[in-house]
Amino acid sequence: MHVVSTSADYNALYRQWAGQRVALVPTMGALHEGHMALIRRARELADIVVVSIFVNPLQFGPQEDLMSYPRPIEQDRAICEQLGVDALFTPSVEVFYPEGLEQVTTVVPPAALTERFCGAFRPGHFTGVATVVLKLLNLLKPQVAVFGEKDAQQLMVIQKMVRDLHLPVEIIPQATVREASGLAMSSRNRYLRTEAEQQAALSLSRILNQVRAAVQNAAEPLPAQTTLQRISEDILAPWADQGVSVRLQYLEAVHKQSFAPADTLKPGVKLLIAAYVNQVRLIDNMDL
């Protein structure tokens, strides 16, 4: 496996791959089973698989976990090697933003896509994501790039950018990988230190599963707002006495294609959720 961290070194490799199909899996490292599924999917889709690892400062807010974000690079490297990745691209912040974060030209996705859900709580986050993804696509020149469905709003923003800017790349969504407990895999799960925090984190997938079961058992479409409120309160209330703070940031039903709010719960609707378990922010989503 080649490990490169500059565009010149990458381009030298790229020239050797002439005529071959390249798939990119962009990551921020701290690789887990979810990323491994993305890499395996990329392997099926192309001759050459490139993984990028870059903890992108542009997508973190000032109060967020940029400094403490896990960076187990040796472990990540071993995982990529084991999965037969052809090239690992690990640029430094200086290589990626040579004139600093304030001076970089940014991609600003439309407000309608970014002012709700995660965007409402993480101002500038999707500008940071869109900018770094465009830079990675331009620099690494893949024909296909694989993104996880766990970051549903991010996927939506990237698909829109690719369409709007006519980028010559196919975006492939990959289903969320879950622990046996139902917890969606995330690099931030490693911040869940105590047994109580790990149990509390299951509240997100429990809420989504219970809503889905209620919808399947109902004779007619259920009203979104009251159903989501009832089920989330039932699941979250017991945590008030357990010494773990579980704070719902949002739980919303949207139409799967447009992300417009859905008034009723029925097939074709997606549920989006974000919550803090103590200091750890987790997100999840599920299609009805």
Q: How many residues bind ligand PAF (CB under 6 A)?
A: 10
Find the length of the chain. 288
**178 CA to centre of own chain:** 14
Task: Compose the 100-139 pattern: x for residues touching ligand PAF by CB under 6 A, - for all others.
Answer: -----------------------------x--xx------
Residues 170-189 that bind ligand PAF (CB under 6 A): none
Q: Assign 232 to helix, strand or coil.
A: helix
User: Cα–Cα distance between 215 and 223 in angstroms, integer?
Assistant: 10
Alpha-carbon gap, residue 132 to 22, rounded angstroms? 19
Q: Does residue 25 belong to the site contacting ligand PAF (CB under 6 A)? A: no
Amino acid at 231: I
* Of positions 23, 28, 280, 283, contacts ligand PAF by CB under 6 A: 28
Q: Give whichever of 56 and 114 is closer to ligand PAF, judged by the CB atom.
A: 56
Q: Does 42 bind ligand PAF (CB under 6 A)?
A: no
Contacting ligand PAF (CB under 6 A), which of 151, 197, 252, 284?
151
Between 129 and 207, CB nearer to ligand PAF: 129
Site string for ligand PAF, 55-74 (x = CB under 6 A): -x--x---------------
What is residue 217's three-state secondary structure?
Answer: helix
Least Å distance, CB 26 to ligand PAF, is: 4
- Of 28 and 161, the one with the shorter C-beta distance to ligand PAF is 28
Contacts of 203 (CB under 8 A, 6+ apart): 235, 236, 239, 246, 275, 277
Nearer to ligand PAF, 187 or 232 (CB): 187
Q: Is 23 in the site for ligand PAF (CB under 6 A)?
A: no
- Rule CB under 6 A: is residue 38 a binding residue for ligand PAF? no
DSSP assignment of 191-206 equals G--SHHHHHHHTHHHH
205 forms part of the interface with ligand PAF (CB under 6 A):
no
CA angle 197, 271, 112 (to 5 degrees): 110
Kindly list the catalytic residues.
35
Nearer to ligand PAF, 25 or 253 (CB): 25
Q: How far is CA 175 from CA 38, 97, 168, 178, 185, in A?
A: 9, 31, 23, 10, 11
Task: Give me the DSSP letters along 52-65.
Answer: EE---GGGS-TTSS
Residue 26 engages ligand PAF in binding (rule: CB under 6 A): yes
Paired tokens of 197: 């925090």
Q: Out of 24, 27, 76, 280, point to the residue binding ligand PAF (CB under 6 A).
A: 27
Tell me which residues touch ligand PAF (CB under 6 A): 26-28, 56, 59, 129, 132-133, 151, 154
